[in-house]
Structure 1
Amino acid sequence: MGEGMRGLRVVEEWSPVIVMVTSNVAMGSVNALVKKALDVGVNHMIIGAYRMAISAFILAPFAYLLERKTRPEITFRLMVDHFISGLLGASLMQFFFLLGLSYTSATVTCALVSMLPAITFALALIFRTENVKNLKTKAGMLKMMGTVICISGAMFLTFYKGPQISNPHSHLEASHHKNNDQDKSKNWILGCLYATIGTTLLSLWMLFQGSLNIKYPCKYSSTCLMSIFAAFQCALLSLYKSRDVQDWVIDDRFVITVIIYAGVVGQAMSTVATTWGIKKLGAVFASTFTPMTLISATLFDFLILHTPLYVGSVIGSVIAVMGLYVFLWGKTKETEASTTLSSRMDNEGHNYNNNDNDSRSQV
């Protein structure tokens, strides 16, 4: 009986980790495929609108069947909250990320995305969702150290190429184009600003989702509502680039496949998984897995899309995974400390009651 309970406790403890790793690995493949689809010349916000619409369509049956008895009543305030959630975590975030990519390069944008754990951690300290006093403990120092190592690995992966390991086919024209873009300092600074805004919006969404989960603890219904609002928001934002109705007609089979895959896996499943991870262990915990997306995208590019693999990618991936283990070590220490503290308080309360009963019996 004890072994069974211990096994269930281990599964419950590690299930958020497994879910977050799987979600971010899936997002890596989505990002790599969307990058290929954007090279065709499709309006990036049209892809976003279709992606959100597919997400809402997929999640609606789950929301109705699984949460109809437990779903709280939808109020005007909750509708506004989900509208804001769609802006922060979907439409505006995608808009600024991809706009930043157009002004700089994929390397610069990915480097800024890897700053997500640090930005989320800093915002959590500002909004006091993360206790500053906990940083002085061993668990807090390990979490801080793990976050720094994760970011260092992601930065190394994106900024340092190194020698090419295999696949001798290089993309000289693309590299030359990216270098020309980076030489234009004004556009480079503007692109970095846009990408940083996108990363900050995603961090704000993670923190906002933490409070929304308390008010509306229905992950399928919440993600479905968010996707509906975000689909309309993306459609409006698409007017920034083009107002031609023909742009909405997509006949490229590869692009259609990517949009469906991105809607089902990249939006519906990943957002539900991230929402659940935030609910279980907080926004800072969920954001720490972002480097896994970079690692996954690199491997997916190499194995499936046959993009060249470099030494820097391998070393950066190893460093990022090491940082992730250090952060999880700190999280485990924090959980053990809180469990020990609660057990000690329970024992003290039990002893106090026993002593009180003994004194009463003596009287």
Structure 2
Amino acid sequence: MGDGGDGQKATLLQWCSSARWSASRRRLLSAAGNTEGRAHAGMVLVMLAYSGYHVLTKSVLNVGMNQVVFCVYRDLLAFLVLAPVAFLCESRRQRPPVTPQLLASFALLGFTGLYANPLLVVVGLHNTNASYAAAFQPSIPVFTFALAAIVGFEVINIFTKDGILKVIGTAVCVSGAILMALYRGPSLIGLGGTETAIGIVTSGTWSSTPYPAQWLTSTMLKYGVDTWHLGILCLIGNCLAMAAYLVIQAPVMIRYPTSLSLTAYSYFFATIFMVLTGVLATNGLHEWALTKTEIIAVLYAGIFASCMNYAIITWANKILGPSLVALYNPLQPAFSTILSTIFLGDPVYLGSIIGGVIVIAGLYLVTWARYSEAHRALTDGCLDPLLVGPPRVPKTHESSFMDP
């Protein structure tokens, strides 16, 4: 009887332990899902804010405002807003000590994502055209995916269903964005014959006639690089800069997890770089004067399109990883088309609708594969059950995305 009682107790304990583990697993998946859901919603908000930024500033930049000056004011305002917010919202105990290595990382982040990214597009657009530049922007997720795989942040197993879906989803998302850039089709809403929204969409920048630094063009011409090829090189550099920004930011977030402070430091260095460039790219103090309309555009660009957006991108990068964050960039053409139709009366073309649906389908495939991968890993018991938020695999089974 004693042995039977002990066996029943052991069976009962095993059942209770299994039930508790199943409940804990469900809670972890639910918490991770809620956190990732907020990150996905935040990235959609970022793309909407960028699209509103394009629509609001298009008319301002088209009437002759120096775009490098616009970049300077935008970055300066973003830093002046973000720095005190980070100081008040993140206590000194939350912020790790700033080491020389971290300062170098902040400078690199500021140079790649907040300085080189918009400035290279300005020069690239000047030497090519808007449609050609827009066709390059969908390569940002591809470059991010490749860089993340090279440095080990993204592990893809093409022999599993989840790995195959990640690759297919990325390709589908990029294909939809390319379709919007290259195919316009008939006008479904509004009158045709005007420029489509995709003509002004570039990753966080714009495509009106720019005022680039002339010294850069003349320097490249001395080495036998004509203006068209200079534009192509700048557009490729723009995509690489944004991809590098997302990939570099992931390990920095491990060492310095306070998102607002990290973004503020990055903007500090980006502002220094941009001011120096502005001094070289302007022809007098008159180019620094702003009208009332330009002030409104700068306020929106600095507070929403820069300060808010990059703070959300930094936070979402910590949760979703660089590859998935980059996949939201192709949504900008679709959102810009919608906002341009509502506020500017621009027509909606068939290519924008088809491309937008394809982009959303690609994002869904990658997101579903990400969740399925996390669910299977947790079911197999290889994730830390004490972790709150997006789970991270031990070093022997690296996760596809870097989490703190």
Cα displacement (A) at 1:297? 1.4
State whether residues 53 and 300 of structure 2, in contact with CA within 8 Å, keep that contact through their aligned partners in structure 1. yes
1:74 is matched with 98
Matched, 1:190 2:190: no
1:44 is matched with 67
Distance, in Å, in 1 between the alignment partners of 2:383 and 2:318 is: 26
Matched, 1:201 2:241: yes
State whether residues 70 and 298 of structure 2, in contact with CA within 8 Å, keep that contact through their aligned partners in structure 1. yes
1:262 is matched with 301
1:1-363, aligned counterparts within 5 Å? 5=27, 8-68=31-91, 69-132=93-156, 134-168=157-191, 170-171=193-194, 187-251=227-291, 253-342=292-381
Secondary structure, counterpart of 1:136 in structure 2: coil
Q: What is the letter of the counterpart of residue 262 of structure 2?
A: S
Q: What is the letter of the counterpart of residue 226 of structure 1?
A: S
Cα displacement (A) at 1:121? 0.5
State whether residues 95 and 237 of structure 1, in contact with CA within 8 Å, keep that contact through their aligned partners in structure 2. no
Cα 1:314/1:71, change in 2 over 3 Å: same
Which has the larger displacement, 229-238 or 87-96? 229-238
Distance, in Å, in 2 between the alignment partners of 1:110 and 1:335 is: 34
Q: What is the letter of the counterpart of residue 23 of structure 1?
A: V
Cα 1:41/1:215, change in 2 over 3 Å: same
Distance, in Å, in 1 between the alignment partners of 2:139 and 2:359 is: 12
State whether residues 164 and 310 of structure 1, in contact with CA within 8 Å, keep that contact through their aligned partners in structure 2. yes
Distance, in Å, in 2 between the alignment partners of 1:7 and 1:204 is: 31
2:221 is matched with none
State whether residues 161 and 311 of structure 1, in contact with CA within 8 Å, keep that contact through their aligned partners in structure 2. yes
Where does structure 2 lack aligned partners over 5 or more consecutive residues? 1-22, 200-206, 208-225, 386-404
Deviations 1:111-156 (CA, angstroms, capped at 9, x unpaired): 2111111111111122222124x23321111111011000000000
State whether residues 36 and 320 of structure 2, in contact with CA within 8 Å, keep that contact through their aligned partners in structure 1. no
Normalized against structure 1, the TM-score is what? 0.85
Normalized against structure 2, the TM-score is what? 0.77
Distance, in Å, in 1 between the alignment partners of 2:90 and 2:323 is: 27
Q: What is the letter of the counterpart of residue 74 of structure 1?
A: V
State whether residues 377 and 383 of structure 2, in contact with CA within 8 Å, keep that contact through their aligned partners in structure 1. no
Cα displacement (A) at 1:187? 4.2
Distance, in Å, in 1 between the alignment partners of 2:119 and 2:164 is: 35
Q: What is the letter of the counterpart of residue 135 of structure 2?
A: A
State whether residues 43 and 238 of structure 1, in contact with CA within 8 Å, keep that contact through their aligned partners in structure 2. no
Where does structure 1 lack aligned partners over 5 or more consecutive residues? 179-185, 347-363
Distance, in Å, in 2 between the alignment partners of 1:11 and 1:148 is: 27
Cα displacement (A) at 1:193? 2.1
Deviations 1:52-80 (CA, angstroms, capped at 9, x unpaired): 11111221232112212311122222222
Distance, in Å, in 1 between the alignment partners of 2:316 and 2:187 is: 36
Q: What is the letter of the counterpart of residue 228 of structure 1?
A: F
Q: What is the letter of the counterpart of residue 314 of structure 2?
A: T
Which has the larger displacement, 118-127 or 146-155? 118-127
Distance, in Å, in 1 between the alignment partners of 2:259 and 2:384 is: 33
Cα displacement (A) at 1:300? 1.5
Cα displacement (A) at 1:15? 1.7
Q: What is the letter of the counterpart of residue 236 of structure 1?
A: L
Deviations 1:215-257 (CA, angstroms, capped at 9, x unpaired): 1111111111111221121111124432312211112x22211
Secondary structure, counterpart of 1:135 in structure 2: coil
Cα displacement (A) at 1:326? 1.1
Distance, in Å, in 2 between the alignment partners of 1:204 and 1:34 is: 27
Cα 1:171/1:12, change in 2 over 3 Å: closer
State whether residues 37 and 258 of structure 1, in contact with CA within 8 Å, keep that contact through their aligned partners in structure 2. yes
Deviations 1:239-280 (CA, angstroms, capped at 9, x unpaired): 4432312211112x2221111111111111111111111111
Q: What is the letter of the counterpart of residue 258 of structure 1?
A: A
**Higher relative helix content:** 1
Corresponding pairs, count = 334
Q: What is the letter of the counterpart of residue 279 of structure 1?
A: K
Distance, in Å, in 1 between the alignment partners of 2:300 and 2:308 is: 10
